[in-house]
Amino acid sequence: MRRAAGVEPHLSPPVSLKTLAPKQIEGHEFIYLKLLGVQGVDCWFNEDEEPVIDANLLSKVDLSGAVVFAAVCYLPESPMLKALMKAGASYVIGGSGLNYYWPGKLTGVDLLGLYVRWMLERGISPKMALKIGKARLKWARRDMVTRDTLAFKVWRGKI
């Protein structure tokens, strides 16, 4: 996660729905979210199944101009994508259904996130960054984790 995001992440725990402050998320050009999503549920959870952020809180955060990479299951099948857009994200990159990964290894969604971040750092648009990242990932691996990740999409929000 650290390598993919390129920064020291806020971890949950200790971060939770009760302790998360908008300032922990706001003011960044690239936001990498890795939490557990559930179809139709308006909250994301940590691996202990504790709520970390819900759509109500997320929609109140100022994400103006941010590119959000959401390594979260069921992004468009939950209210969370709309909450990210309402918060002002310029682009949201994520996937439908389950998003597989191997714990402790840089594969699947995390490897795609790394490639996307690298492209964004070079000034490439989010749409092209995802296209290049998926092409690199496609050549690197051919397993279930990779096939799922290749279905990621870009949603354009407020700019």
pLDDT on residue 10? 64
Give the structural domain span for 12: 2-154
Residue 45 domain flag: yes
Residue 159 domain flag: no
Q: What phi and psi values does residue 31 have, to the nearest 5 degrees?
A: -125, 125
Percent of the chain at pLDDT > 90 equals 60
H or E element that contains 69 = strand 67-70
Tell me the C-alpha distance between 35 and 5, whole Å: 13
pLDDT on residue 159? 54
Q: What phi and psi values does residue 92 have, to the nearest 5 degrees?
A: -125, 130
Residue 55 domain flag: yes
The total of structural domains in the chain comes to: 1
Max Cα-Cα span within the chain: 42
Residue 21 domain flag: yes
Q: For residue 49, what are its two tokens?
A: 């199944």
Model-level pTM? 0.90
Q: Which CATH number characterizes residue 86's domain?
A: 3.40.50.1460
